[in-house]
Structure 1
Amino acid sequence: MASRTPRKSNQAMLGHKIIVGIDYGTTFTGASYVSTTGSDIKDDIVIGTWPGPSRDSETVFKAPSRIAYPLDNPLNRTIRWGFQVEPGMTTYSWTKLLLDRNTALGEFDDPTLEGASKTGILQLPCGKSAVGVVGDFLKEVRTHVLKMIEKQITKEVLGITPIEYWFTVPAIWSDQAKAQTKTATQRAGFAYNIERPNDQIFMVTEPEAAAIAALNKTATDGLGASFKPGDGVLVCDCGGGTVDITTYLINKVEPLLAFEELCTGIGGKCGSTAIDRNLYRLMSRRFGKAFDMLPAKKKGPGSEFMRKFEIVKKDFGFNIEEDKIYELPLNIRAGKVKSEYFDDEERLVLLSSNDIRQLFDPVVDQVIGLVRKQMDDAEDAESGIINRIILVGGFGDSEYLREKMEKAFFGITITVPDNPQTAIVKGAALRGLWGLQVTTKRCRRHYGFKWSIPFRQRIDREKNAHIDEFTRKKMVGGIMKWMISKGEKYTENHTHTVDYTQVYHSGSSMIIKFVLFSSDSNEAPERVEHTSIKKVGTISVDITDIDFNLFEKKLIDGVLSYQAKFSVKVIFGAQDGVLKFETTSQGKVVGKTTIDFTNTKYY
């Protein structure tokens, strides 16, 4: 035994690492891990044991993304999470969606999302933020993941082996939501941890992770469904809260698979939880206040009512019978409700096949609409032909969705990998193991700053004109300086720099601020007032250490003023998944650059 430990220690010192992929989803969370000594997708181990009495079998690859606090459940002395949460407990679910509630609902977002908080579903504990609740949940996940890895390699070896955590995030998410996700992971102890100072956090988008797993597996299976260079593959990640679509062009298959984004990806907040919200609306119409006034623990995620509905959702699509009746247990005072809707003796809600179809169809139609738009975008860009669709994610396993997709896109091969729920979490770990596989990505929106330029006669309006207080030239403000355009290709750690001039008056604050804007419009707007332009956040730069004597100076209204010149660099595609900034002046990095995101709640 003694001779084996030094070998492991030496291995750790020689750069041996463990890569952990974590897919924190709206409804379920999964994790997988792989050692840097592994080289194949088969070496990627998906954790199949999660604690708690409410799981249906011994092997489950994901745990419910829900948490119950002792304050709300006096019989519990500690936090309960995942399968530890039992029916009847007051729980918090779908919290992931609250990380991106500052983004206005888009064309393909579920319209019922806005009113979901009124039903008691999208709620937060008193005094806690969404970041705090997600952090508490992920802290429990981290403890369990480390325990599972420790069983495989011993506590001693784990203690000296650094871990890279690769978290998946929806590609459609705002930059603020990605930053909040990272903050939650840090609060959970995944990085900056005194006990494990060498652990790191990275991020990968969910469709990219799914593509890495699905494309590599298919390319190496030899089952007749492998890809070839030039193929266009649309990955449709249908999760609980979001649907993310990205299309890839296969560049090469051997010796390693490499692919690039074919066109700008799209998505929407229209995952399988939208079907749940449709169910709540149907129940409200049929049972009124008898249903509406029920506490969340009786009708929300984790309740017996919703656990049974989850089974119905998974089964729907196999041998659909027009006269089949589905039964959901719910103890309510139904009053004078038609017997076709409720079995008063057995306390069962009764739903027909047509009822279930009407719950599914609006959501399925949104998914099909997203896929069709992505295919149109690829055709308009003359980027290539999409000849394969891969469905992944929990909702991607729906037989009803697959059948509807095949009818909508006749002639295109539609495949679903084995256990599509784990494709994303496996791909996240493989992303860390193999390094970059998506050679180039497409920017999902325009990013830039507003600035002033010399006034243009017959083009600019006088109301937008002003006299520059330093140069005394006539200028026009509110003009956008776009750093990177929507659809523009970029690689990892791609940078764009913009030169910025600002008048600094002696005695003013040593913090200079720049506002970063974005636009989802296909054509980049020229002026900041355009309806598509959104404020991403305010970048603050500490200029305390700048030598202002090196700038041009003059007296303005009796105050010594300087024409300060800066270069603001924005880093896109950083491995940790969030926007990074750097400001330079006089040939050196200036102070610390941070961003405060705009805070406007939409649901």
Structure 2
Amino acid sequence: MMLFDKMKIKSQTTLEDETGKTLPAKLVFSLAINFLKNDLLDECHKQLADVLEEDDILWVLTVPAIWNDAAKQFMRETAEDAGIKRSKLMIALEPEAASLYCRYLPVQKGDADCSLASFKPGTKYIVLDAGGGTIDITVHQVIVDGNVRELHKASGGAWGGTMVDKAYEQFLVSVAGSAVVQKFKEDHMDDFIDLFRTFEVTKREISPEKSAKVTFRLPPSFTDTFLEITGGSIAKKISSTEFRDRISYLSGKLRVDANITLDFFQKSVDSIVRHISSLLQDSSVQPCEAILMVGGFSESKVLHNAIKDEFGRMMKIIISESPGLAVLKGAVIFGHRPSTISERICKYTYGVNTTHETTKWCIHPSTETSESDGRKRCRNVFDKHVTIGQSVKLEEEQEESISNPVSDTQTGIWKMIYASTSPNPYLVTEPGCIKIGEFEIPIPDTTLGRDRKFGTRFIFGGTEIAVKVEDKAIGEIHIYSIDFLE
């Protein structure tokens, strides 16, 4: 979640654990990826008798579609730190991967007569990827060749299963007190983690259709911590709270009214339903035929029932087989067939910061002009390459933009990449514009001076942005990577 919803991410960002200790985020992520990589290699060597080399493998790293370019670069660099070569690494967007997986399945749970594999060209559907941290929502349409295109930019929020976990933790605080929960967390971290592992299983069984009390097991160390802090018993404390008629405690077990447990889900579920309702108001989404639910949180009966109650009358609700594995299995398909997602929607208006010579038609304020080599220039001009909401095809090159040095001795042209929520920004200094990255076009030979021209074309249709630069003087073409990290 450290990478969620931050336009600017520092390469040296640190993470803090439950006890307040910090480590570099890249170290934590790369160690996790390295463990998974080595585990797979060990398993392959056992089964394939060492015929598989590491260079034989294309690794697919999945990220939420609502993550920005800096977050994707951060994950790519951590994977490289884990020993995966750049040329052997592909980034996949999680709801897209899940959608691909379900396109290959003949049967899904949910509506018996509904399957993504049977959807005809033109069919529109929503992919609801409900994970632990984020809820990732995309809108797809089946096209003539069986491929899929994105119809609406990825959206969502931090409303995943961990929001339910936090509600449960707040419930424990209201029962035992914040001092007890904090002390328990500090002194018995293993039991604290195990407590939420157990809750993970229990919360999948919580359902609006069940009225029986729900049982939560508390480890002995929790009871001991309560006694140490308060000097009393949990049962006595409960009798003095607002829950006294709806909760009981006996032999390490909390017995809780079903209505209380449903409240754990309220904030998360309401946010998801409200967001989908808002999304359905967009004309590009209509008519929508189905909602495909994937991700571990989709196994929650509370979430499934809420989606079905709200939208089941107007469209089909499909839950994939093993929704928690849909992204993983879809990522494998994406690695073999990355062109299956043939069109995507731009989340921002992208452009570069440029300058041009001042003319009588310029509408620049005087504060945005400067003089160089006796020439007056307009600066901070937003040179737009693609517009927010625009559909871009895979490997499609945008219109070429010509650049040249502003001085005869210049040895490189720095391009500052900007993103804007406005469809037509004029200056990069306008509200809603933010610098997100940069790249350099090197000029090793300055013989031509200001007359040397470079053609820049952005390629936005993939999961990552690419830049194609042609040196017009010698005809050389290079693909440059953009640095999105601070």
Counterpart AA for 2:280: M
Counterpart AA for 1:391: M
Residue aligned with 2:89, SS = strand
Matches of 2:61 and 2:54, distance apart in 1: 22
Structure-1 separation of matches of 2:270 and 2:105: 29
TM-score by length of 2: 0.83
1:539 counterpart residue number: 439
Structure 1 residues 589 and 295: alpha-carbon distance in aligned structure 2, compared to 1, 3 A threshold: farther
Q: Distance in 2 between matches of 1:396 and 1:136?
A: 28
**CA–CA distance in 1 between the matches of 2:125 and 2:348?**
22
The answer for the alignment partner of 1:281 in structure 2 is: 170
Contact 1:519–1:532 (8 Å) recurs in 2? yes
How far 1:487 moved relative to its partner? 1.9
From the superposition, tell whether residues 477 and 520 of structure 1 become closer, same or farther in structure 2 (CA, over 3 Å): same
Q: What does residue 394 of structure 2 align with?
A: 492
Tell me the secondary structure at the aligned position of residue 189 of structure 1.
coil
1:137–1:165 Cα change, 3 Å: same
Please tell me whether the aligned partners of residues 346 and 389 of structure 2 are also in contact (alpha carbons under 8 angstroms): yes
Whichever residue aligns with residue 263 of structure 2, its letter is Q
1:290 aligns with 2:185: no
2:307 matches 1:307: no
Structure 1 segments unaligned to the other structure (5+ residues): 1-96, 106-116, 193-198, 552-561
Match of 2:2 in 1: 98
Deviation at 1:401, TM superposition (A): 0.5
**In structure 1, distance between residues paired with 2:268 and 2:197:** 20
Determine helix, strand or coil for the equivalent of 2:101: helix
> Which of 60, 70, 80 is residue 166 of structure 1 equivalent to?
60
Unaligned ranges ≥5, structure 2: 10-14
Mapped to 2, the partners of 1:389 and 1:471 lie a distance apart of: 61
Question: Which of residues 254, 268, 275 in structure 2 aligns to 1:370?
Answer: 275
Q: 1:390 aligns to what SS in structure 2?
A: strand
Please give the residue correspondences for 1:34-73 in structure 2 after superposition, counting only pairs within 5 Å. none
Answer whether contact 1:246 1:265 (CA < 8 A) is retained: yes
Tell me the residue number matched to 1:396. 298
Deviation at 1:387, TM superposition (A): 1.0
User: Which residue of 48, 69, 76 corresponds with 1:175?
Assistant: 69
- Answer yes or no: is the 8 Å Cα contact 2:133–2:159 preserved in 1: yes
Among 460, 463, 469, which residue is 1:572 paired with? 460
Q: 1:133 matched to which residue of 2? A: 28
CA contact (8 A) 1:245 1:370 kept: no
Corresponding pairs, count: 458
Structure 1 equivalent of residue 415 of structure 2: 514
Deviation at 1:563? Answer: 6.2
Aligned to 2:12: none
* Aligned-partner Cα distance in 1 for 2:45–2:344: 36
In structure 1, the partner of 2:98 is: 210
Residues 296 and 587 of structure 1: CA distance in aligned 2, closer, same or farther (over 3 Å) = farther
Q: How does 1:309-388 map to 2 (within 5 A)?
A: 309-317=199-207, 319-321=209-211, 323-324=213-214, 326-329=216-219, 330-331=222-223, 332-333=225-226, 335=230, 337-339=237-239, 340=243, 346-348=251-253, 351-377=256-282, 379=283, 381=284, 384-388=286-290
Distance 1:238 1:301, change over 3 A: farther
Per the TM alignment, residue 328 of structure 1 is displaced from its structure 2 partner at its CA by 3.8
1:462 aligns with 2:354: no
Q: Which amino acid aligns with 1:238?
A: A
SS at match of 1:167: strand
| Helix, strand or coil at the partner of 1:265 | strand
- Deviation of 1:593 after TM superposition, in Å, equals 4.5
Q: Which whole-Å deviations, capped at 9, do the CAs of 1:217-258 have from their partners, x for residues lacking one? A: 147999632312221111111111111111111124xxx732
Q: Is the 8 A contact 2:41 2:54 kept in 1?
A: no
Residues 103 and 174 in structure 1, CA contact (< 8 A), matched pair in contact too: yes
Aligned-residue offset at 1:177 = 0.9
Shift of the 345–415 alpha-carbon distance from structure 1 to 2, 3 Å rule, reads closer
Deviation per CA, 1:163-197: give whole Å up to 9, x if none.
Answer: 222221111111111111111222222336xxxxx
Q: Residue 266 of structure 1 aligns to which amino acid in structure 2?
A: S
Please list the CA deviations of residues 526-575 of structure 1 after superposition, one character each: whole Å capped at 9, or x if unmatched: 332333222211223333x12x2213xxxxxxxxxx4664333333244x
**Closer, same or farther in 2 for the Cα pair 1:550/1:463, shift >3 Å?**
closer
Pick one of 301, 310, 313 that aligns with 1:408: 310
Higher helix share: 2
> Is contact 1:242–1:269 with CA below 8 Å preserved after alignment?
yes
Displacement of 1:160: 8.7
**Contact 2:292/2:317 (8 A) holds in 1:** yes
Residue 299 of structure 2 aligns to which amino acid in structure 1?
D
Deviations along 1:121-166, one digit per CA (max 9) or x if unpaired, are 496x65x4212111111111112112333344332x2239812222
The Cα of 1:386 is off from its aligned counterpart by 0.6
Secondary structure, counterpart of 2:397 in structure 1:
strand
Partner in structure 2 of residue 259 of structure 1: 148
Question: Within the alignment, does 1:443 sit opposite 2:340 as a pair?
Answer: no
C-alpha contact 1:262 1:384 (8 A) present in aligned 2: no
Following TM superposition, by how much is the alpha carbon of 1:297 offset from its aligned partner in structure 2, in angstroms? 7.2
**Distance in 2 (alpha carbons) for counterparts of 1:188 and 1:302:** 29
SS at the partner of 2:406?
A: strand
Paired with 1:375 and 1:104, the residues of 2 have a C-alpha distance of 30
Judging changes above 3 Å, is the alpha-carbon distance between structure 1 residues 276 and 520 closer, same or farther for their aligned structure 2 residues? farther
Q: Deviation of residue 295 (structure 1)? A: 3.1
Q: What's the TM-score once normalised by structure 1's chain length?
A: 0.68
Say whether the 8 Å CA contact 2:108–2:319 is kept in structure 1.
Answer: no
Q: 1:456 and 1:366 mapped to 2: Cα distance?
A: 51
User: For 2:309 and 2:196, how far apart are their aligned partners in 1?
Assistant: 30
Amino acid at match of 1:310: E
